[in-house]
Amino acid sequence: MKSNRVIVTSLSFLVLLTTIGFFVPRQVLAHCDGMDGPVVRAAQKALETGNVNPVFIWVQKKDEGEIKTAFQKTLAVRKWNPQAKELADMYFFETLVRIHRAGEGAPYTGLEPAGRDLGPAIPAADKAVESGKVDALLKLLSDTVQAEVRERFKHVMGRKKYQADDVEAGREFIEAYAAFVEHVERIFEATKGPAEGHSRGSTETGGT
C-alpha cells in the first residue's frame, strides 16, 4: 500500500509539472526571472550537488521548508528519465523564483528565456561582482549620467535667452528648467537610498 501511495503522489507531482508552463502569463521582468539569471543558476548548482542550502539565501527563512520540500520531490522525480528530469528541474526553478519574488513583494509571471536583452547596466553590475572589479561599471554609469545631464542642460540653455515680453518662450524655459532640476535630483537621491525591489517586504513590482 505504501508503494502505491508513493506512485500516486509522484504521478500527481508530474501532472503539476506538465501544467506549470502553460497557465502562467509571460512578460519581461527583472533578471532574477531569467533562465540564465542568478536564482536559476543557484538552483541548477543545488540540483547538481544535491545540496539545497545554497539556494536558501534567495528566500526568507520562513520559506525554507517549502523550498526544501520542492527540492526533495525534484531530486526523486528527476531520476526517472530525461523527460522527467527536465520537468522536475523546471518545477524547482519556478518554485524558487516565485517564492524569491514573493519575498521581495514583487509579482511572479513565469520564467523568461535565457539571452534576453537586459541593457548594459545589469550585466555590467553582475560582471563587477563576479570579477571583483568595479571600474568598468563606474565608467558606464558615469558616461551615461554625464551624457544625459549634458543633453538636458543644453536643452535648458537653449531656452534661457528669451525676450522679457515673450511669455510663451519663458514658459518653455521654465518647463525645461524644472525637468532638468527634477532629473538631477532623482539621480542624486538614487545614489543615497537602497535600490527598489531588493529590501524584504518591498511592495514595489520590480524585483531583482
pLDDT tens-digit readout, 14-29: 443 433 333 333 333 4
| Intra-chain end-to-end CA distance of the chain, in Å | 45
> Which band of pLDDT confidence, cut at 50, 70 and 90, is reported for residue 193?
low
Reported as a pLDDT band with limits 50, 70 and 90, residue 125 is confident
pLDDT reading at 179 higher than 80? yes
In three-state secondary structure terms, 25 is coil
Looking at the domain assignment, is residue 177 inside a domain? yes
- 180-186 mean pLDDT: 92
- Residue 191 is placed in which grid cell? 545614489
12 and 82: one domain? yes
Query: Are 16 and 90 part of one and the same domain?
Result: yes
Same domain, residue pair 138 and 80: no
Residue 118 has a pLDDT of: 80
Measured in whole angstroms, the distance separating CA 201 from the mean position of its chain's CA atoms is 15
Own/partner pairs, 194-200, CB within 8 angstroms, 24+ separation: 197/30, 197/104, 197/106, 198/104, 199/104, 200/60, 200/103, 200/104
Q: What is the pLDDT of residue 135?
A: 93
What is the value of pTM for the model shown? 0.62
Q: Say if 161 falls within a structural domain.
A: yes
In a domain, 23, yes or no: yes
